[in-house]
Amino acid sequence: MRVKPTQQVDRAGVSWIEHLVVTELGWLFRQQETVDFGIDAQLEIVDSETSKATGRLIGVQIKSGISYFARPSDAGWWFGCSAEHTSYWVGHSLPVVVMLYHPTQKMVYWQHVNEQTVQSTGKHAKIQIPRLQRLASHSAQMLSSVARSVSEVPALENWGFAPPVGEPQRTVYFEYLLSARLCAMVPGVVVDKNQFDGPWDLNVWVVDGAQGEEIGVRLALQGSPSGVRRLASEYRSSFLPLVIFYTGTRDIGRVAQRSGGDRTSPVYVVAWRENGVGKALQDAIMDAIQWVRQGSSFG
78-111 pLDDT tens trace? 999 998 888 889 888 889 999 999 999 999 999 9
Check residue 207 and give its pLDDT.
76
Q: Are the CB atoms for 153 and 181 separated by under 8 Å?
A: yes
Check residue 37 and give its pLDDT.
65
- Give the integer Cα–Cα distance in Å for 148 and 144: 6
Residue where a domain terminates, one of 109, 139, 169:
139
pTM greater than 0.95 (yes/no): no
Check residue 25 and give its pLDDT.
95
- Find residue 206's DSSP bridge partners: 189, 215
Q: Among 178, 116, 177, 112, which residue's Cα sits nearest to residue 147?
A: 112
Crossing angle for the helix pair 169-185 and 279-293, to the nearest 10 degrees: 70
Q: pLDDT band for 297, please (50, 70, 90 cuts).
A: very low
Same domain, 83 and 198: no
What is the tally of structural domains in the chain?
2
Same domain, 47 and 114: yes
How do residues 7-43 score in pLDDT, each as one tens digit? 778 888 999 999 999 999 999 999 886 555 678 999 9
Same domain, 109 and 177: no
Same domain, 95 and 185: no
Quick check: is 154 in a domain?
A: no
Quick check: is 83 in a domain?
A: yes
Cα atoms in the Cβ-side hemisphere of radius 13 Å centred on 40? 16
Region at 79 (left for phi over 0; alpha for psi -120 to 50; beta for the rest): beta
- Whether residue 284 has pLDDT greater than 80: yes
Q: Among 52, 34, 31, 33, which residue's Cα sits nearest to residue 43?
A: 31
- Whether residue 162 has pLDDT greater than 70: no
CA distances from 228 to 155, 164, 254, 286 (A): 28, 20, 11, 20
How do residues 211-267 score in pLDDT, each as one tens digit? 667 888 999 988 888 888 888 888 877 688 999 988 877 877 766 565 555 557 889
Residue 259: which domain range? 160-293
Quick check: is 144 in a domain?
A: no
Quick check: is 147 in a domain?
A: no
Check residue 59 and give its pLDDT.
93
Check residue 295 and give its pLDDT.
66
Q: What is the mean pLDDT of the chain?
A: 81
**Segment 185-199 mean pLDDT:** 77
Q: pLDDT band for 135, please (50, 70, 90 cuts).
A: very high
Whole-number percent of the chain with pLDDT over 70:
79
Of 80-84, 164-168, 267-271, 287-291, the least confident: 164-168
Quick check: is 213 in a domain?
A: yes
Same domain, 114 and 43: yes
Same domain, 125 and 230: no
Quick check: is 170 in a domain?
A: yes
Q: Among 273, 196, 190, 186, which residue's Cα sits nearest to residue 239?
A: 196
Quick check: is 177 in a domain?
A: yes
| Pairing assessment for the beta strands 124-130 and 76-82 based on DSSP bridges | antiparallel
Determine the Cα angle at 84 with ends 148 and 133, to 5°: 45
- Whether residue 136 has pLDDT greater than 80: yes
Same domain, 111 and 232: no
CA distances from 131 to 74, 124, 297 (A): 10, 22, 23
- Find residue 82's DSSP bridge partners: 124
Q: pLDDT band for 3, please (50, 70, 90 cuts).
A: very low
At residue 115, φ and ψ (nearest 5 deg) are -65, -25
Same domain, 207 and 118: no
Amino acid occupying residue 216: G
Residues in the chain: 299
Quick check: is 118 in a domain?
A: yes
Burial tier of 23 (Cβ tally within 10 Å: 0-12, 13-18, 19+): exposed
Same domain, 117 and 195: no
